[in-house]
Amino acid sequence: MLESTVWRQYHDDNSFREKLAEFCKLDTVDLIEDDKELYAALKAKLTKKELKLFAMDTAGIAQGRIKKEFAYTDEELEKAKFKLYKKLIQDKTRLSFRV
């Protein structure tokens, strides 16, 4: 299940549920139960670049590698992360992950 996703490129397991709950400030029991549906909602709310950044950042990938992957400077990377995590805590995004 979800083996060929962007998430699995950087993580050994489907731990996106826990990471999403952590950053969206929700309990994991409040999230959509089916992993495929939850991942689809996540993909719908984030751009491909944001989803890849989320996967890489939560996997603990080195900042240098992330900057190289996206051709970002230090400042651009910080702005992209800020925008990503701000988007995850917005109600219109957060509530789409709930049951």
Cα(84)–Cα(8) distance, rounded to whole angstroms? 19
Residue 42 confidence class, pLDDT cut points 50, 70, 90 = very high
**Higher pLDDT residue, 5 or 82?**
82
Band the pLDDT of 82: cuts 50, 70, 90: very high
Output the pTM of the full model: 0.89
Q: Where are the domains of the chain?
A: 13-97
For residue 54, CA distances in Å to 51, 70, 96 come to 5, 12, 17
| Predicted pLDDT at 7 | 87
What pLDDT is stored for residue 13 in this prediction? 83
Q: Which residue has the tokens 């952590």?
A: 22
